[in-house]
């Protein structure tokens, strides 16, 4: 029976690199995201294993549940779920915060992760086997200036990951959380609403993590023996010591 991994947010950054890395490990890939053309590109790029693409917004509870439940039977034995879809929207003091940005971060990073998990878990429980990897952040360990609601969303991912691990231990399902520091992806471009110059400054003066570094780590995590779970991993660029301490040259 093929091993199947579902990766959310596979159209960019960490999710895309993870889909590619898991394909190299032989996992058949279910790649999800909103941008259909990016999903198609990824499907064409991964040639070693079959790839199924599902286009949905993680905020659309009914739509995503329908998409997951309508997968062909041979795709339903999902063994690995990487809850990666997410973003920051804005970087502003709470008194200047944009309520739409707050909604987006809580709806996508927290509720979206829950909706996808709710749709996929019955598939894992049917086999009493599975590994859920939630992408948290150093922002889920430390609050930084103007990070307020994004940090809250990642603190929530941390709490949800711990809760899932406790609730699912009797079911034999592994739950892990990866907490990256600064990774150069489209993250800052989204945070700064398309301002590429401002986004680029976030990664200047030091060597940030690459999406592939996180993907390598996830590939390592899912290939540990059945009795080993890397439950929480904080992964930083060497130049980063905390959410705010960075050795910039
Ligand atoms: P990118 O912006 O490069 O990728 C984000 C991915 O999430 C895209 O594939 C996007 O797909 C998907 N996504 C965003 N919103 C939605 C939505 N509403 N519905 C479905 N999919 C959505 O950023 P990263 O790769 O950096 O981010 C991935 C995860 O890593 C996020 O959870 C982020 O918080 C976390 N993280 C990132 C760090 C960094 O420094 N980059 C550090 C720590 C954690 P599409 O737009 O096609 O829907
Ligand atoms: C993304 C990393 O430090 O920009 O979660 O919040 S940070």
Q: Which 8-state DSSP code applies to residue 246?
A: B
Q: Which pTM was predicted? A: 0.99
β-strand partners of 235: 180
Give the residue-averaged pLDDT of 46-54.
98
Distance 50 CA to ligand 1 centre (A): 23
Q: What average pLDDT does the chain have?
A: 98
Residue 176 in domain = yes
CB of 135 shorter than 6 A to ligand 1: yes
Residue nearest to atom 38 of ligand 1 (CA): 183
241 within domain boundaries: no
- H/E run at residue 152: helix 148-168
Is 95 contained in some domain? yes
Catalytic member of 27, 115, 150, 203? 150
Query: What is the domain extent for residue 39?
Result: 4-235
What proportion of the chain, given as a percentage, has pLDDT over 90? Answer: 99
137-161 pLDDT, tens digit each: 999 999 999 999 999 999 999 999 9
Domain assignment present for 197: yes
Q: Is the pLDDT of residue 1 over 90?
A: no
Q: Going edge to edge, which strands form the sheet with 51-55?
A: 51-55, 28-33, 4-7, 78-83, 130-135, 173-180, 232-235
**Is 186 part of any domain?**
yes
Calculate helix-pair angle for 13-24, 36-45, nearest 10 degrees: 30
For residue 80, count other CB atoms closer than 10 A to its CB.
25
- ipTM beyond cut 0.95: yes
* 249 within some domain: no
236 C-beta neighbours (distance < 10 Å), count? 18
Query: Cβ(139) to ligand 2 under 6 A?
Result: yes
Residue 174 lies in a domain: yes
Task: Check residue 154 and give left, alpha or beta (phi > 0: left; psi -120 to 50: alpha).
Answer: alpha
Domain-located, residue 248: no
pLDDT for residue 237 is more than 90: yes
Query: Number of folded domains in the chain?
Result: 1
Nearest CA to ligand 2 atom 4: 182
Distance, CA 186 to ligand 2 centroid (Å)?
12
150 in active site: yes
137 close to ligand 2 (CB < 6 Angstrom): yes
Here the tokens at position 188 are 């800052």
CATH number at residue 53: 3.40.50.720
Give the DSSP per-residue string, 34-61: S-HHHHHHHHHH--SS-EEEEE--TT-H
Q: What is the mean pLDDT of residues 68-79?
A: 98
């Amino acid at each position: 029976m093929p091993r199947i991994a579902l990766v959310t947010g596979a159209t960019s950054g960490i999710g895309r690199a993870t889909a590619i890395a898991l394909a190299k490990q032989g996992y058949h890939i279910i790649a999800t995201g909103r941008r259909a053309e990016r999903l198609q590109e990824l499907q064409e790029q991964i040639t070693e294993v079959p790839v199924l693409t599902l286009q949905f917004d993680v905020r659309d509870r009914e739509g995503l549940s329908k998409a997951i439940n309508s997968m062909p039977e041979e795709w339903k034995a999902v063994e690995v779920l990487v809850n990666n879809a997410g973003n920051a929207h804005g970087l502003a003091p709470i008194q200047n915060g944009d309520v739409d940005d707050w909604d987006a971060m809580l709806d996508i990073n927290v509720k979206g992760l829950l909706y996808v998990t709710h749709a996929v878990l019955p598939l894992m429980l049917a086999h009493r086997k599975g590994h859920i990897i939630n992408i948290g952040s150093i922002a889920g360990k430390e609050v930084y200036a103007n990070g307020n609601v994004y940090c809250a969303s990642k603190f929530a991912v941390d709490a949800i990951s711990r809760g899932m691990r406790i609730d699912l231990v009797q079911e034999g399902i592994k739950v892990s959380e990866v907490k990256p520091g600064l990774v150069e992806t489209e993250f800052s471009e989204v945070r700064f609403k398309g301002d590429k110059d401002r986004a680029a400054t976030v990664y200047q003066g030091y060597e940030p993590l690459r999406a592939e570094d996180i993907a390598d780590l996830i590939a390592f995590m899912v290939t540990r023996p059945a009795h080993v779970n890397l439950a929480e991993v904080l992964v930083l660029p060497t130049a980063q010591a905390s959410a705010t301490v960075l050795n910039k040259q």
